[in-house]
Amino acid sequence: MSELSRRNLMTSVAVVGGVAFLPATVTAQTPVPSDLKPDVQNDLKLWYDRPADEWVKALPVGNGRLGGMVFGGVAFERIQLNEDTFFAGGPYNPTNPRSKEGLPQVQKLVFEGKYAEAEKLANDTLISTPNKQMAYQPIGDLILLFPGLDNTSRYERSLDLEAGMVATEFNAGSTRHRREVFVSAVDQVMVVRLSGDKGKPVTVDIGLSSPQKSEIETVDNTIIIRGVSPTQQGIEGKLPFEVRAQVISPTGTLTAREGGVYVTGAEDVVILIAAATGYRRYNDISGDPAAFNTDILAKAARKGYAAIRDDYLKDYKTLFERVSLDLGQGENGKLPTDQRIARFGDGKDPGLSALYLQYGRYLLMSSSRGSRQPANLQGIWNDKLNPSWQSKWTLNINAQMNYWPAEVCNLSEMMDPLVCMVEDLAETGAQLAKDMYGAPGWVIFNNTDVWRVATPPDGAVWALWPMGGPWLLQNLWETWLYNGDTAYLKRIYPLMKGSAEFYLATLLKDPNTGYMVTNPSNSPENRHPMSSSLSAGPAMDNQLLRDLFAHVAESAKVLKTDAAFAKACLTMRAKLPPEKIGKAGQLQEWQADWDMDAPDIHHRHVSHLYALHPSDQITVEGTPALAAAARKSLEIRGDDATGWGIGWRINLWARLKDGDRAYSVVERLLHPRRSYPNLFDAHPPFQIDGNFGGAAGIAEMLLQTHGKRIELLPALPSAWPQGRFEGLKARGGFEVALSWRDRAVTEVTITAKKAGKTRIVWGASSLAVSLKAGQSVRVVGRNGTLVRA
């Protein structure tokens, strides 16, 4: 169905039963008066006193695979739908046929310092053909039209994080209406329930529409849309998709019409929505979405609403209730969420920071679960046919940042889709390593899409950075550090080994320095003063390779395998360029001291600070001179950046143990410039990585672990003088519960999920503990000292 047909459908159902409706574009923008009581509980709730009149005000729901954005309209409601595998195009391989011949020429020019020439040649011979990847797509909309709803009052639209549900409630005449939306990971359906109190009947016209080329029909009170993915960049759209909405209302009268179902006299209406594509893997689209949806809906309909809801809540709460955080509530905490964001700078709402962390956990649970697709650039939510940066996966910070809160915020299960993607990329990246470098192992550049493209897209200034694999592997390594699961390590070890094989074969000796370096590469998205971004051996590459080689060696030791290979990795690690401190006292971004002469010294990326965070190669205690240089670099860069750039800076300042500076960056994030009314991160436009980076940063201010050391309140700001949390995780297999008052630890409980030793650190005080699996130790703070209780 074309966009014009979609608009026509929405307009054609605007007259039902002789009752006229306002057009969709008008109704959803009409404010609804509210006299909502100010004592609404906001600890785990986003709420608003009017419907959303634009997408970044709507509220997200999802189960990792199926997502929706709920606008909360009164007479007109729209729920925009996504399915995580629905991308444009179909399987393709855009490797530039000239890449193997062009690569050595580019490398030679880079070593000769002819960077602009190297960049021009790289654009001709190394960049993908086509040079753009495929875009994540919206799959459709559920449209609800309600006749006779006027004179409304007491409106509230909310997302209850404790239950994972979006609700819209309002009075119309003497009836209190409630609409509830959630997406079940257990039953793989979106559930919409419409009801009125006191058994008052519900009347609604229900329709589906899609911006995609598609067909629509109604069969037995089930509305069906089917079509194929759009063609982009000359890559033919071949991926089949289908959406089904089954309407259930035993007490109502249901009348099917073309593309919809009209319901009258219903005590309540339940709509079950299923969506699927033919995607099986990046190279297999033979799946049957109609068979999948038919089966899912049949099972859900037999199960019934009450059982679906009960099972959903049990499953959801098992994950969400692992972590609690209380930073106190200020007087602004009773305001609607959009007003809380607008007034956060007043300093009267510490609870919004806690809500932000929990919202980040909710978003990760909703966009990274039960699928081979990890959270993309917008998580799982997108309403545009051509979204910014194709809403795919950017691998030079954004996809990695999405997973920073996964372990510390006790959501290890959300990592599995990321592991699955890396397993796919090891396959496509192995083909690229062979075709472009003639090398073993695997390599991935700075972007990929659902078709697991490994080649560099867009242009050399952005894309010619062959380090996406090692950074993704650092995310996977964190899961091993937190949980110590040997079976998991066996799963990821071949991925790490394959990546290391590639760099052992392709690193080159820099004739200018004698060190082994990547070439060509760049320091992600930043230009140096030599009229280019291309370089050899930028600082971040060396930092990533130090981690990769060390992790491979440590894994081989744990798994008792590959001793010779591990030794080769450590030997090569010693040949990488060391960290350098430049003329301004900064940590150098490149081998040459170019930082202060670069075109943008306030660049949004802080790639060379990877060694400080998320890695811990640089720490305040272990490498004080380098930590001071990293601090200088961070000061030069400045605290203002894009949304995700601000999220990274929170974590960096937390690692430098500067709580008040970290909190001042939190204030930049929780500001209307960087947070939309629904708390989505504003790059701008929307990118979800800032939500995840910000959530991780708040946790990092409260708890850090390096080696066998758990540090309590390492970057506690003055704005949080008292508080408590439970369930945050520490590396080594520990969970932590902590309370503090007047910025001093009052009580901490460490629980071991596996046997291990650690040291609890608070300020100058520390305490060694050794615990068996399942054992806990309780410690109190007395006069600045930790003491066993």
pLDDT 10s digits, 111-139: 999 999 999 999 999 999 999 999 999 99
154-194 pLDDT, tens digit each: 999 999 999 999 999 999 988 999 999 999 999 999 999 99
474-485 pLDDT, tens digit each: 999 999 999 999
Phi, psi of 524, rounded to the nearest 5 degrees: -40, 115
Q: Name the CA dihedral angle for 392, 395, 396, 400, rounded to a multiple of 10 degrees.
A: 100
pTM here is 0.95
**CA–CA dist 339, 3 (Å, integer):** 34
Burial of 174 (0-12, 13-18, 19+ CB in 10 A): exposed
Decide the pairing of beta strands 521-522 and 534-535. antiparallel
Q: Helix (H, G, I), strand (E, B), or coil: what is residue 123? A: helix
- State the pLDDT at residue 21: 29
**CA–CA dist 162, 785 (Å, integer):** 35
- Assess whether pLDDT exceeds 90 at residue 240: yes
- State the pLDDT at residue 174: 86
Decide the pairing of beta strands 268-277 and 260-266. unpaired
What count of residues does the chain have?
789
- Assess whether pLDDT exceeds 50 at residue 568: yes
User: Which residues, other chains included, contact 698 with Cβ-Cβ below 8 Å and sequence gap of 6+?
Assistant: 353, 354, 356, 357, 650, 666
- Under the banding of pLDDT at 50, 70 and 90, the label for residue 42 is low
- State the pLDDT at residue 710: 98
Counting DSSP H helices and E strands in the chain, the numbers are 20, 34
Q: What DSSP element (H or E) covers 737?
A: strand 734-741
| DSSP secondary structure letters along 438-461 | --SS----SEE-TT---S--S-HH
Mean predicted confidence (pLDDT) in 533-554: 98
Mean predicted confidence (pLDDT) in 414-423: 98
Mean predicted confidence (pLDDT) in 648-664: 98
587-606 pLDDT, tens digit each: 999 999 999 999 999 999 99
277-310 pLDDT, tens digit each: 999 999 999 999 999 999 999 999 999 999 999 9
- State the pLDDT at residue 467: 98
Please report, as a single letter, which amino acid is at residue 471: W
- Under the banding of pLDDT at 50, 70 and 90, the label for residue 149 is confident
523-535 pLDDT, tens digit each: 999 999 998 999 9
Contact yes or no for 787/737 (Cβ under 8 A): no
Mean predicted confidence (pLDDT) in 8-25: 32
Nearest to 480 by CA among 427, 558, 402: 558
Burial of 348 (0-12, 13-18, 19+ CB in 10 A): middle
- Assess whether pLDDT exceeds 60 at residue 447: yes
Q: Helix (H, G, I), strand (E, B), or coil: what is residue 105? A: helix
- Assess whether pLDDT exceeds 80 at residue 763: yes
Contact yes or no for 132/390 (Cβ under 8 A): yes
- Under the banding of pLDDT at 50, 70 and 90, the label for residue 198 is confident
**CA–CA dist 240, 18 (Å, integer):** 38
> 447 forms bridges with which residues in the sheet?
394
- Assess whether pLDDT exceeds 90 at residue 13: no
